[in-house]
Amino acid sequence: MEEFAALIDALVYTRSRNEKLRLIAEYLRATPDPDRGWALAALSDGLDFPAVKSSTIRNLLKDRIDPVLWTLSRDFVGDTAETASLLWPAPDAPPSPPTMSETVALLGEMSRKTVLTELPKLLDRLDSSGRYALLKLATGGMRIGVSSRLAKTAFAQAFDVSVDEVEEYWHGLTPPYADLFAWAAEGADPPDIENLPTFRPFMLAHPLEETVVDLQDYAAEWKWDGIRVQLVRAGGETRLFSRSGDDISTTFPEFLDILPINAVLDGELLVRGTHQGGEEGGAASFNALQQRLGRKTVSKKMLTEYPAFIRLYDALLIEGDDVRTLPWTERRGRLEALASRLPGSHFDLSSVVEAKDFDHLAQIREGSRVDAIEGLMLKRKDSPYIAGRRVGYWYKWKRDPLLVDCVLMYAQRGSGKRSSFFSDYTFGCWDGDPDKGADLLPVGKAYSGFTDDELKKIDRHVRSNTINRFGPVRETDKSLVFEVAFDSVHESKRHKSGLAMRFPRIHRIRWDKPPHEADRIEALRALIAD
C-alpha cells in the first residue's frame, strides 16, 4: 500500500503525460501479482466497494471532529477523501500498512454495518498519504488526472504490448487481471474472450470544425440524439453497453433475447415517440429517452409508454466474423443484410444522407431542426473500425448551438482541479420586463465552456459580488451576463421556470452587457422544438 500511495502522490503532482506513463509503468513492473492488478483496477476505475461511500467517510469524520469544522474544511479542500486523510487523528501506534491485496480484501468484506468500525482500523494503520490513497481507492473515481485509457496505455508500455490489444481483452477480464499480466508480462497465451459477451471499444469521431470533405470519399449519416450503445451477443448471452462500456442490459431488457445470431453491433438507442419527425420517423426527443435511463428495474408500463429501439450505425462482429478491418462500405453492406433479418420493432438502420456535394450537405444540415437529430456524421468510405478517435476517418458535424443571454445567479465551488474556485454556475432569464420589476428565474446550470483564466475572473467576480451564502453556494448580485449555448430546450419541472436546457455551456462572458438586457423566459420558451 505504501508503494501505491507513493505512486498516487507522484501522479497527483505530475503534469506531463509521458512522466505519468513512466511512473505507472515502473510501478507495474516492480510490483508483484496480484497487488499490481488491484492497482491497475484502481487507476482504471475498475474497483467498486459499495459499502464505502463519500457519505460513509463524512459520517466517520463527523464522529471525530466537530461537524462545522469538518464542513468548512471539506469546502476549502474540495475533496472528501483528501479532507478526511488530513483530518484523521494520528494514531498512537506507528503505521503498519496492509498490502494492496489485503486492503482490497478488507474493503470487499465490509458491509454497510461493519464499515463504521472496520474502515477506521484500516485508516489507523496508514499515514496521511496512505489514508488518501485508501479513501480514493475505496470510494472509486480517483480524480488524479489519470484516465482509464492512460492506465491501459501505461500497462501496454510497461510490457511492450499493443494498447489496442489490451483494450480488446480488457472488458472480458476482471481485477486483478491475472490473465492479462500472464500474457503481457510472462508471454502466456492471450486471454480468450471469443465466447464472452464483452464490450469492444467504440470508434469515435472528431469534430469537423473548418474541415471540408469530398463526398466522393465520405458518406453522411444523421447523428441521432439518443445514447450510443453496443449490443453484444456471444456464448448464448446478450448484453447492452453504453458508450463508456457500462453494462446497461437490465435497464433495457427488451433487447436481451431479440438478437438471432452472435454479433457486436454499434448503434443509437432511441425511444419511439408520437411527436417525432425526421425522414425516417420513429424517434422521440432525448427528453423521452431520459425517462428510461438509469433505472434498475423497468415496469411494463415503461416498456409500453417508452419503447426503445436501436438505430444501427455499424457492425464489429457478425456470426464470429471480425469485420472491423473491412472498409466502411463493406461493413455497411453486411450491416444492411443483417438489419433486414432483425425485428423492425427493435431495430432500424441509420440511413445514409444523400447529397450532391458538400455545400448541398451543409444546406441539408441547416434545414434539420428535428429534435432527435444532433447533426451529421461523416464517415470515410474506406475506414476500418478502429477503437478510439483517429484523425481523418470519422467526423461529427453538430448543428450550431442555440444561444441565449442569461444572468449569473448562484455559484458553487468546484472540486478536483477546480477546488476552492467557484466554477459551477446557475443562471436565469427574466420573467417579464426587468425594468418593471420582473424577477430572474433559474433556467440552467453550467460548468464548462470557459478557460482557466476566465474561471479566475468569474471566481473573483463571485467573491466580490456575493450577497448571500448557503454552505458552498454563493448568491451573487446578478450583475454578470453569460451568453449560454445549448443544444435544445424542453419543458421541465426541475426548474421554477419550467424549462430545461440540454448541454448548456458558457459560450461567452458578457462583461460588457448590463443584466437587464439579458433574455426573457419567453424568448427561451420560443425555442422549444417538441
Partner 1 sequence: MAAPFSWIKPEPHGIYIPPADCWVDPSRAVDRALVTHGHADHARGGHGETVATPETLAIMELRYRTGAEDDAGEIPHRAVPVEYGETIRLKGGVDATYIPAGHVLGSAQILLEHAGERVIVTGDYKRRADPTCPPFEVTPCDIFITEATFGLPVFEHPPIEEEMAKLLERLRAYPDRCVLVGAYALGKAQRVIAELRAAGHHDPIYLHGAMEKMCRLYEEHGVNLGELRLVADATKDDILGHIVICPPSALNDRWSRRLPEPITAMASGWMRVRQRARQRNVELPLVISDHADWGELTRTIKEVDAQENWITHGREDALLRWCQLHQRRARALALVGYEDEDD
**Can you give the binding site for partner 1, defined by CB under 8 A?**
9, 12-15, 65-66, 68-69, 72-73, 76-79, 82-83, 86-87, 132, 145, 416-417, 419-420
CA nearest to 283, candidates 339, 225, 227: 225
- Which residues 6+ apart lie within 8 Å of 472 measured at CB? 75, 412, 413
Residue 16 vs 216, nearer CB to partner 1 = 16
Q: How far is the CB of 129 from partner 1 (least distance, A)?
A: 10
**Residue carrying C-alpha cell 478536483:** 416
Residue 37 vs 414, nearer CB to partner 1 = 414
Q: How far is the CB of 464 from partner 1 (least distance, A)?
A: 10
Q: How far is the CB of 463 from partner 1 (least distance, A)?
A: 12
Residue 66 vs 517, nearer CB to partner 1 = 66
Q: How far is the CB of 60 from partner 1 (least distance, A)?
A: 15
Q: How far is the CB of 132 from partner 1 (least distance, A)?
A: 8
3-class secondary-structure state, position 328: helix
Q: Are the beta carbons of 347 and 339 closer than 8 angstroms?
A: yes
Q: What is the DSSP string of 281-294?
A: --B--HHHHHTTTT
Residue 416 vs 432, nearer CB to partner 1 = 416
Grid coordinates given for 270: 432511441
Q: How far is the CB of 57 from partner 1 (least distance, A)?
A: 14
Beta strands in 186-274 (DSSP E): 203-204, 206-207, 218-224, 227-234, 237-242, 263-271
Beta strands in 329-448 (DSSP E): 347-349, 352-353, 373-380, 388-389, 394-398, 402-413, 422-430, 440-446
Q: What CA–CA distance (Å, rounded) separates 449 from 427? A: 14
Residue 90 vs 93, nearer CB to partner 1 = 90
Q: What CA–CA distance (Å, rounded) separates 330 from 6? A: 50
Residue 68 vs 212, nearer CB to partner 1 = 68
Does residue 215 come out as left (phi exceeding 0), alpha (psi in the -120 to 50 range) or beta?
Answer: alpha
Residue 68 vs 93, nearer CB to partner 1 = 68
Grid coordinates given for 323: 469485420
Q: How far is the CB of 420 from partner 1 (least distance, A)?
A: 7
